[in-house]
Amino acid sequence: MPPSIRRERALSDNQDYLARSRAAVWHPCTQMKRHESLPIVPVASADGAYLVDFDGRRILDAVSSWWVNLFGHKEPRIRAAIVRQLETLDHVMLAGFTHRPVVELSERLAALTGLGHAFYASDGASATEIALKMSFHYWKNMGAPGKTRFVSLEGSYHGESAGALAVTDVPLFSATYAPLIRQNFTAPTPDAREARTGESAADVARRAAVSLDNLLCKHHQEIAALIVEPLVQGAAGMVMYDAEYLRQARALCDRYRVHLIADEIAVGFGRTGTLFACEQAGIRPDLLCLSKGITGGTLPLSCVLSTDDIYAAFYDDDVSRGFLHSHSYTGNAAACAAALAVLDIFESDDVLARNRVREAEISAALAPLAAHPAVKSFRHTGQIWAFDVPGAPAGFAGLCFERMLAAGFLLRPIGQTVYLMPPYVVSAAEMAALAEALAAVLDTLPAGAPTTAVALP
Ligand SMILES: *Cc1c(COP(=O)(O)O)cnc(C)c1O
């Protein structure tokens, strides 16, 4: 609609983009009819930890724009790296061609993880697909073609393409597509909230590992890989568990000749306090999936890192033993340049050390909220804080989203779980203000039937 017509109708830019978006854009993860009442938020610009709408209203992005934005919006160094890259090489196909950013990024990720071979795609679900296909194909190349199935944890989320949904245990996302999805195995979650009286989080982990042992013992001949979200199961509602589970899982995978795939798409790049979550267990996976924070929330990129052993199983004169998988934008030069800038910032700003200080300050700022009578199972790992509101009325997630938005904060509760996953530039004072607004929302919760775990669309 031309600006003149818009002015005649006296719509603000916010209302204008809201209406046009509803008509022309099919939004992700959304029942569009709900936007008859639930607002779509038009964003004109973003800066640091804030989104800004067309009226200049600032909203604190406390979920890092779906967990991707590490250092705030418009980080000048990442922006400069992308611009610099676009001035020399924007993109070239990666089959048969290579370029400086993809080589340097692969070398640096190898040095950081001990996994020496980097395969690229553009989003998290594709990284999951690649890891699953690689694992299956490895066993086929090794003369074990019967290993065709996978194990994931209860409540797991590894993306929403048909292959990734086969290892995603979130019925809201997978149930509808059941006829399209391969049946796999689900192992009990080591969720620390499952602790019985006298049990520690590590005890829960060991108990869950016994179930995994039984499952692998019985079915290992048909299982190619176990896929886990290390330390925090994000989409399940920030389910946190002890690193002991990863150590046990690593040992069991070795014993039963099953790959361990670490999906660090959400937890990688400092989110749990270490650069990668697996470091806290002192283990190395066979395949590591990275995305989300990898470009600091600027450009789409994902990566699957693999061991020398897996790589070697594909290296052959026979073409069909190779990994014949590709995406058009595989290894995009601008995205790789953004990822290199992100790694530079981790080094130059000593991000992990500074985050440890921020973590303590933010935890202190959230202490009054943690003590609110409606808040249960307040928990945190690194730069993720979460709690449950078991008595919340139906529609709590949407209600909390709307009320917090009105107060200037972006939160997206998952069912009865509220989580905070802010960019690493947010201050303790800003989080204290958020906690105060959130406590006020909890104070005024309408009474009603307890909600079932329905995610905000
Ligand atoms: C977000 C996410 C994915 C999927 O990534 P997309 O880029 O949304 O496809 C996979 N695994 C985990 C753990 C995630 O959080």
Which ligand 1 atom is the nearest neighbour of the CA of 264? 13
Secondary structure (DSSP) of 174-231: HGGGGGGS---EEEPP--GGGPPTT--HHHHHHHHHHHHHHHHHHHGGGEEEEEE-SS
Q: Say if pTM beats, i.e. exceeds, 0.85.
A: yes
What local confidence, expressed as pLDDT, does residue 61 receive? 98
The residue count for the chain: 457
Beta carbon of 236 within 6 Å of any ligand 1 atom: no
Does the annotation list 137 as a binding residue?
Answer: no
Say if residue 196's pLDDT is above 90. yes
Say if residue 7's pLDDT is above 60. no
Angle at 301 between CA 319 and CA 344, to 5 degrees: 115
How confident is residue 445, by pLDDT bands cut at 50, 70 and 90? confident
What local confidence, expressed as pLDDT, does residue 176 receive? 94
Does the annotation list 392 as a binding residue?
Answer: no
Say if residue 452's pLDDT is above 90. no
Does the annotation list 125 as a binding residue?
Answer: yes
Distance CA 432, CA 320 (A): 57
What local confidence, expressed as pLDDT, does residue 209 receive? 98
What local confidence, expressed as pLDDT, does residue 381 receive? 98
Which two tokens mark 187? 């192992």
Beta carbon of 125 within 6 Å of any ligand 1 atom: yes
Q: What percent of the chain has pLDDT over 70?
A: 95
Closest CA to 132 of 96, 109, 161: 161
9 C-alpha to ligand 1 centroid (Å):
41
> Quick count: other Cβ atoms within 10 Å of Cβ 160?
19
Does the annotation list 292 as a binding residue?
Answer: yes
For residue range 9-45, list pLDDT tens digits in order. 567 899 999 999 999 999 999 999 988 888 899 999 9
126 C-alpha to ligand 1 centroid (Å):
9
Q: Average pLDDT for residues 220-241, to the nearest whole number?
A: 98
Which two tokens mark 204? 């829960």
Does the annotation list 380 as a binding residue?
Answer: no
3-state secondary structure of 175: helix
Residues contacting residue 65 through CB under 8 Å, at least 6 positions apart: 51, 73, 297
159 C-alpha to ligand 1 centroid (Å):
5
The preferred substitution site among 158, 261, 278 for testing ligand 1, maximizing ligand atoms within 8 Å of CB, is 158
346 C-alpha to ligand 1 centroid (Å):
22
Say if residue 4's pLDDT is above 60. no
Distance CA 65, CA 28 (A): 13
439 C-alpha to ligand 1 centroid (Å):
30
What local confidence, expressed as pLDDT, does residue 5 receive? 56
What local confidence, expressed as pLDDT, does residue 300 receive? 98
What average pLDDT does the structure give for the chain? 95
For residue range 54-103, list pLDDT tens digits in order. 999 999 999 999 999 999 999 999 999 999 999 999 999 999 999 999 99
Beta carbon of 159 within 6 Å of any ligand 1 atom: yes
| Block residue for tokens 């066979």 | 286
393 C-alpha to ligand 1 centroid (Å):
28
For residue range 142-179, list pLDDT tens digits in order. 999 999 999 999 999 999 999 999 999 999 899 999 99
What local confidence, expressed as pLDDT, does residue 229 receive? 98
Distance from the Cα of residue 210 to its chain's centroid: 27
Beta carbon of 158 within 6 Å of any ligand 1 atom: yes
Task: Please give, one letter per residue, the 3-state secondary structure of 108-142.
Answer: HHHHHHCCCEEEEECCHHHHHHHHHHHHHHHHHHC
How confident is residue 454, by pLDDT bands cut at 50, 70 and 90? very low
Report all structural domains of the chain as residue ranges with CATH numbers, in order of start.
13-74+350-444 (3.90.1150.10), 76-349 (3.40.640.10)
What local confidence, expressed as pLDDT, does residue 37 receive? 85
What local confidence, expressed as pLDDT, does residue 243 receive? 98
Does the annotation list 311 as a binding residue?
Answer: no
- Per-residue DSSP letter, 409: E
